[in-house]
C-alpha cells in the first residue's frame, strides 16, 4: 500500500493553531468532519481518546500518530498536520510534537489502520524523511517526500535481489510486547542499514497484527547470523545451531549497523534449543548487558503480578469501605474481602514464577512459583520472592545445562519429569534452609530491636515503626512493625502506635501515585496508569500497591518510601494521633483521636516521599533499561 493513497492533500493542516494535546486532536477531527471523512465527531473522538488513554501515540522525535477505527469513519484517510511551535503531547521521549498523522479507519474486517501505522513507521525511522517533513510548506511537498522515499525503497529492494551469490545474508525478527510502531521502525532501520552495507537481509515482524514475512527454514539455514530485536518472547527453537544476537527492539532502531556487523561475522553465541544436542560455544543466547537482562527478567515478573495487585487491592479497599459502614459481619465486606484477599495470596508466587520463566523459559515457572510461595510462608516477603525468582531461574538453567548430554532415550522425560522434580527440589531446599531462615533472622532482629526500644521516646518509636512499614511492604520487616503495634494495641488498647504503622504503610503507594502525576517524565505510560490505582490502595492501607514499583526500582522507591513513612509515623506520635483499628486506612480514622492530624501526617510524609522519588529517578528517555516505555500500542 502506498502512503499517498490515503494521505489526502485536502485534509492537510500546514500550520496548526492549537497549542495543547486535546485542542490539536479537536482541530484535526474538525477538519475530518468538514471534509466528510467522518459522520460523528464525538464517536470518532471517543475512539481517539480511548487509544490515547492506553499509551500516548506520541512516538518521539517530534512525531505523533493518533488513530481510531470505528463506525464514525465513512472512508479511510490520513490527515497530516504540522505545528511550527510544537505541542506538549505526552510523547514517549517527553519532547514537543511537530508532525501529526491522524489515521481514520472505517469499522470492518480489514486492518487498514495497522497497515498505515506500519507503513508510516517504516518511513519515519528515516531521519532525512522526518527532517524534510519539518521543513515543508505545502501539501504537495508532503506527498512528494513519501513518493520519493517509496521510489528509493524500490531501488534498494532491486539492488538487494540482484546482488551476487557471495553476498552476506542475515535474518532478523523484530517485536514489541504491546505495540506496532517500534516493531516496524526496527525492521526498516535494519533494512536500510543492510542495503548501505551491501548485506542481504530478511526481517520477520511480530507486531499487533501477528507475525508477518515469516522466515522460512531455508532462509534460516542459509543465514550467516540471526538478529532478534525483541522485547517479548518469539519462536526461538527454529534458530537452533545458528549464531543469534538477542537485543531489545530499541537497539534494532538505534544500533542496526552494530547488530548487522556482528551477525555477518557470526560474532554471537550459538543458540541451543531446549532438548537439542547441538554444540554450543556459549552458555546461552546472548541476552544483552547484565543489568539490562536482570531488568527485563524483573519486569516480566512485575507485569504479570500487576493485575493481581490492582484487582485484588481495589476489591479489598471496597470491602473496608463496607466494613466501616455496615460492620464486619456484612456479606458485602466478607465476600469482597475474601475475593480481594485471594488475589493477594498470588502476588509473590506470580512475581517469582515469571521472573524465573523469563530466565529459564517454561521449566523455570514451577520452581519459581513454588519458591515464591515458600517465601510467603517463611515470612521472607516480596524481597524473598525476588530472590526466589532469580534463584529458581538460574538454578533451572544449571539443571538444563547439566542434563543436556543425557541419552536420547530419556530426552522426552526432561520436560515432564526431570526438570520439574529436580528444579522444585533444588529451589525448595534453598528456600527452606537458606533464604527463608535468613529473612526470619532479620524479622526476629527487628522485633527485638522494637521491644528494646520501648515506648520511652514515642516520636522516635513512631518514626521507626513507620519507616519499617515501607522497608519491604508486606514482608518480614513490615510484619514485625505491624505485629509489635498490634501487640501493644491488644494489651493496652492504645491505638497510637497503630496510627504510626498505618500512616507508614499508606505512604509508599500514595507517594508513588503523587510522584507519577508530578514527575511524568520519570515514569513510563504503563507506570503512570498503574500509579493512579495506588491512590485507592494507599487510602485503604494496602502497602502492596507499591510492590511492582519497588521491585522495578528498589533503591529509589524503597529509600524514598522509608524517609516519608518515618516522618509520617513520627508526626502521628508528636500530635497524639490514635487509630483503634488494625486496618482500614482513611475509612477508619474517624473513630480515632485527632483525625485531622492523621491526615496531615499522611500528606506530609507522602509529599516528601513523592518529591524525593521524583527528583531521584532518571527521566525515562535517559534510561536504556526502560524498554517498555519505547513501545506503542
Provide the annotated active-site residues: 67, 176
Whether the CB-CB separation of 254 and 341 falls below 8 Å is answered with no
Question: How would you class 428 by CB atoms within 10 Å of its CB: exposed for 0-12, middle for 13-18, buried for 19 or more?
Answer: middle
CA 224 to chain CA centroid, Å, is 33
Contacts with 162 (C-beta within 8 Å, 6 or more apart), sequence order: none
Question: Angle of helix 365-377 relative to helix 381-402, nearest 10 degrees?
Answer: 150
Contacts with 33 (C-beta within 8 Å, 6 or more apart), sequence order: 41
Contacts with 433 (C-beta within 8 Å, 6 or more apart), sequence order: none
Angle at 5 between CA 4 and CA 6, to 5 degrees: 90
End-to-end CA distance of the chain: 21
Angle at 389 between CA 388 and CA 391, to 5 degrees: 65
Whether the CB-CB separation of 521 and 489 falls below 8 Å is answered with no
* Residue with the three cell numbers 515470612: 379
Whether the CB-CB separation of 297 and 358 falls below 8 Å is answered with yes
Whether the CB-CB separation of 183 and 125 falls below 8 Å is answered with no
Neighbours of 395 (CB within 10 A): 22
Cell of 528: 503512570
Whether the CB-CB separation of 373 and 365 falls below 8 Å is answered with no
Q: Rounded distance, CA 342 to CA 330, Å? A: 18
Whether the CB-CB separation of 100 and 115 falls below 8 Å is answered with no
Q: Rounded distance, CA 94 to CA 337, Å? A: 40
Which neighbouring-strand residues pair with 60? 63
Question: Angle of helix 496-518 relative to helix 525-539, nearest 10 degrees?
Answer: 160
Whether the CB-CB separation of 195 and 178 falls below 8 Å is answered with no
Cell of 126: 528515516
Phi then psi for residue 107, to 5 deg, are -65, 140
Which 3-state string (H, E, C) describes 135-199? CCCCHHHHHHHHHHHHHHHHHHHHHHHCCCCCCCEEEEEEECCCCCHHHHHHHHHHHHHHHHHCC
Neighbours of 622 (CB within 10 A): 12
Cell of 210: 501477528
CA 201 to chain CA centroid, Å, is 31
Q: Rounded distance, CA 265 to CA 257, Å? A: 12
Kindly report the length of the chain. 633
Amino acid at each position: 500500500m502506498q502512503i499517498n493513497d490515503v494521505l489526502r492533500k485536502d485534509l492537510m493542516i500546514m500550520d496548526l493553531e492549537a497549542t495543547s494535546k486535546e485542542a490539536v486532536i479537536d482541530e484535526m477531527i474538525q477538519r475530518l468532519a468538514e471534509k466528510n471523512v467522518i459522520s460523528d465527531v464525538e464517536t470518532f473522538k471517543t475512539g481517539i481518546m480511548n487509544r490515547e488513554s492506553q499509551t500516548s501515540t506520541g512516538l518521539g522525535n517530534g512525531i505523533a500518530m493518533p488513530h481510531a477505527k470505528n463506525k464514525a469513519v465513512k472512508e479511510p484517510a490520513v490527515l497530516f498536520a504540522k505545528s511550527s511551535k510544537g505541542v506538549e503531547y505526552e510523547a514517549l521521549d517527553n519532547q514537543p510534537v511537530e508532525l501529526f498523522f491522524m489515521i481514520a479507519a472505517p469499522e470492518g474486517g480489514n486492518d487498514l489502520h495497522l497497515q498505515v501505522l506500519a507503513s508510516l513507521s517504516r518511513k519515519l525511522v528515516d531521519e532525512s524523511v522526518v527532517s524534510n517533513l519539518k521543513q515543508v510548506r505545502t501539501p504537495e511537498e508532503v506527498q512528494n517526500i513519501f513518493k520519493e522515499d517509496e521510489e528509493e525503497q524500490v531501488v534498494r529492494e532491486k539492488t538487494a535481489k540482484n546482488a551476487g551469490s557471495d553476498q552476506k545474508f542475515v535474518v532478523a525478527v523484530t517485536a514489541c510486547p504491546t505495540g506496532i510502531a517500534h516493531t516496524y521502525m526496527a525492521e526498516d532501520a535494519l533494512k536500510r542499514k543492510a542495503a548501505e552495507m551491501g548485506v542481504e537481509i530478511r526481517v520477520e515482524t511480530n507486531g499487533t497484527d501477528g507475525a508477518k514475512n515469516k522466515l522460512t527454514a531455508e532462509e534460516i539455514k542459509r543465514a550467516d547470523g540471526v538478529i532478534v530485536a525483541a522485547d517479548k518472547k518469539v519462536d526461538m527453537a527454529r534458530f537452533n545451531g545458528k549464531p543469534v544476537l538477542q537485543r531489545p527492539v530499541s537497539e534494532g532502531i538505534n544500533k542496526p549497523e552494530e547488530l548487522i556487523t556482528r551477525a555477518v561475522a557470526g560474532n554471537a553465541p550459538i543458540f541451543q534449543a531446549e532438548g537439542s544436542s547441538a554444540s554450543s560455544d556459549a552458555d546461552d543466547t546472548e541476552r544483552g548487558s547484565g543489568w539490562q537482562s536482570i531488568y527485563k527478567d524483573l519486569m516480566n515478573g512485575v507485569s504479570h503480578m500487576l493485575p493481581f495487585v490492582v484487582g485484588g487491592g481495589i476489591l479489598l479497599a471496597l470491602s473496608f469501605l463496607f466494613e466501616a459502614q455496615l460492620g464486619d459481619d456484612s456479606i458485602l465486606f466478607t465476600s469482597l474481602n475474601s475475593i480481594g484477599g485471594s488475589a493477594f495470596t498470588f502476588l509473590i508466587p506470580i512475581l517469582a514464577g515469571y521472573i524465573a520463566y523469563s530466565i529459564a523459559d517454561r521449566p523455570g515457572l514451577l520452581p519459581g512459583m513454588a519458591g515464591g510461595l515458600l517465601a510467603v510462608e517463611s515470612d521472607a516477603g516480596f524481597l524473598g520472592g525476588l530472590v526466589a525468582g532469580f534463584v529458581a531461574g538460574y538454578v533451572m538453567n544449571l539443571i538444563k545445562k547439566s542434563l543436556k548430554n543425557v541419552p536420547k532415550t530419556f530426552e522426552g522425560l526432561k520436560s515432564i519429569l526431570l526438570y520439574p522434580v529436580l528444579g522444585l527440589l533444588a529451589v525448595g531446599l534453598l528456600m527452606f534452609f537458606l533464604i527463608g531462615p535468613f529473612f526470619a533472622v532479620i524479622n526476629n532482629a527487628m522485633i527485638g530491636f522494637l521491644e528494646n526500644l520501648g515506648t520511652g521516646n514515642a516520636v522516635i518509636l513512631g518514626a521507626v515503626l513507620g519507616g519499617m512499614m515501607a522497608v519491604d511492604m508486606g514482608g518480614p520487616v513490615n510484619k514485625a512493625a505491624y505485629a509489635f503495634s498490634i501487640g501493644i494495641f491488644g494489651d493496652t488498647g492504645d491505638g497510637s502506635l497503630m496510627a504510626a504503622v498505618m500512616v507508614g504503610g499508606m505512604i509508599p503507594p500514595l507517594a508513588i501515585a503523587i510522584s507519577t502525576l508530578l514527575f511524568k517524565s520519570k515514569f513510563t505510560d504503563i507506570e503512570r496508569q498503574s500509579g493512579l490505582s495506588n491512590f485507592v490502595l494507599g487510602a485503604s492501607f494496602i502497602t502492596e500497591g507499591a510492590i511492582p514499583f519497588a521491585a522495578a526500582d528498589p533503591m529509589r522507591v524503597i529509600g524514598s518510601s522509608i524517609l516519608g513513612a518515618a516522618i509520617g509515623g513520627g508526626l502521628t506520635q508528636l500530635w497524639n494521633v490514635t487509630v483503634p483499628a488494625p486496618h482500614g486506612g482513611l475509612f477508619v480514622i474517624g473513630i480515632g483521636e485527632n483525625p485531622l492530624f492523621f491526615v496531615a501526617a499522611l500528606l506530609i510524609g507522602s509529599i516528601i516521599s513523592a518529591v524525593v522519588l521524583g527528583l531521584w529517578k532518571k527521566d525515562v528517555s535517559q534510561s536504556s533499561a526502560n524498554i517498555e516505555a519505547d513501545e506503542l500500542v
